[in-house]
Amino acid sequence: MKIIAFCVLNPEYIDPAIIAINSFCKFNPALRLRVCVESGTNTSRLRAAVGHYRTEFRETEFPELLEHDSMGDSLSGLFYRPAALPSFAQRIRGLEELREEGADIIVNLDLDTLTCGNITPALRRASSDAVLGVSERKNRSRWQKALGLPDDAASMPDYYNTGFAIYGADALGPDLLSRYRKFLRENPGAKCPEQDFLNRIAIGHIALLPPAYNLMFTDPDYCNVAPRIIHFIGSAKPWGDLHLPPPSGYYVRKYRAEARKLESYLSPSFLRAIDRNVSLLFD
């Protein structure tokens, strides 16, 4: 089987990308990783940090879809910025392109992550007609209830988080971007547009992975799991300005330890922000 990993890089995410990509490749050196980057982005620091791994940079214009103009409602700002919509569309187009290039299995990774182990056991479960991911069903039902929104658990009981997922080419099917555009037209108020789309098209093909492969602070066993990939979801980023939930402390400290190994490639302001958050959590 032809297996390839890929990620989508926004220009403002160079520093997190250095940590996410370096840690993922360090534990999974045999995998080839394609980085889809918006044209004109200065990736020199990132290339210097990860160029010794099997990385491939693909510069492209992220899709500016007409459907984006109709997206959003009064609650959407809690979940995404309108400026992020082209990068969501690029994730879909990137999956489509890799499938068309003959990939059987596509590993997709978000860049607000820290990899702490290899993903080989998960890849052994991969097949062309399955999508593997970690459940976010309970968290999704929780915030839907808190916001007074209908709970879609009945229609998507195996809802997974796309921060780390393994896609089989047959499970994805053809014409992904055109199907995504149709989904946006029919669901302009979607709070997690590309994640909802990727879940809907995978109904009947989803196989859930243990939380360790995409460990989020919303998981009840957050502090009791040996993670393979830590995912700093939402606004709870190690470099962010917002308050981090106390359970994040141990993993934020791990993130800082990785950042210090790579400090010659990272911006001073990014390093200071991580140090500040560690101090707030532990001092």
User: What is residue 167's DSSP assignment?
Assistant: E
Computed on alpha carbons and rounded to an integer, the radius of gyration of the chain in Å comes to 18
Distance CA 213, CA 199 (A): 17
> Confidence band (pLDDT; 50, 70, 90) for 51?
very high
242 pLDDT above the threshold of 70: no
Which whole-number Å values give the CA distances from 73 to 188, 241, 276, in the listed order?
Answer: 8, 25, 34
> Confidence band (pLDDT; 50, 70, 90) for 149?
very high
Which whole-number Å values give the CA distances from 11 to 150, 230, 282, in the listed order?
Answer: 35, 22, 31
The residues pairing with 115 across neighbouring beta strands, listed in sequence order, are 229
Q: Which of 25-34, 60-69, 237-246 has the lowest mean pLDDT?
A: 237-246
Q: How much is the pLDDT for 218?
A: 85
Tens-place pLDDT, residues 110-139 = 999 999 999 999 999 999 999 999 999 999
Query: What is the rounded average pLDDT of the residues 202-220?
Result: 94
**What percent of the chain lies above the pLDDT cut of 90?**
83
> Confidence band (pLDDT; 50, 70, 90) for 241?
confident
Query: What is the rounded average pLDDT of the residues 198-213?
Result: 97
Query: What is the rounded average pLDDT of the residues 223-241?
Result: 89
203 pLDDT above the threshold of 70: yes
How many Cα atoms within 13 Å fall on the side-chain side of residue 270? 20
Query: What is the rounded average pLDDT of the residues 13-37?
Result: 98
Six token digits for residue 256: 């800082």
247 pLDDT above the threshold of 70: no
Query: What is the rounded average pLDDT of the residues 2-29?
Result: 97
- Stretch (H or E) spanning 128: none
Q: How much is the pLDDT for 236?
A: 81
Q: Which of 7-11, 23-27, 138-142, 279-283 has the lowest mean pLDDT?
A: 279-283
Q: How much is the pLDDT for 246?
A: 65
220 pLDDT above the threshold of 90: no
The residue that leads in pLDDT, 233 or 265, is 265
User: What is residue 83's DSSP assignment?
Assistant: G
Tens-place pLDDT, residues 59-92 = 999 999 999 999 988 888 888 889 999 999 999 9
> Confidence band (pLDDT; 50, 70, 90) for 209?
very high
Q: How much is the pLDDT for 222?
A: 84
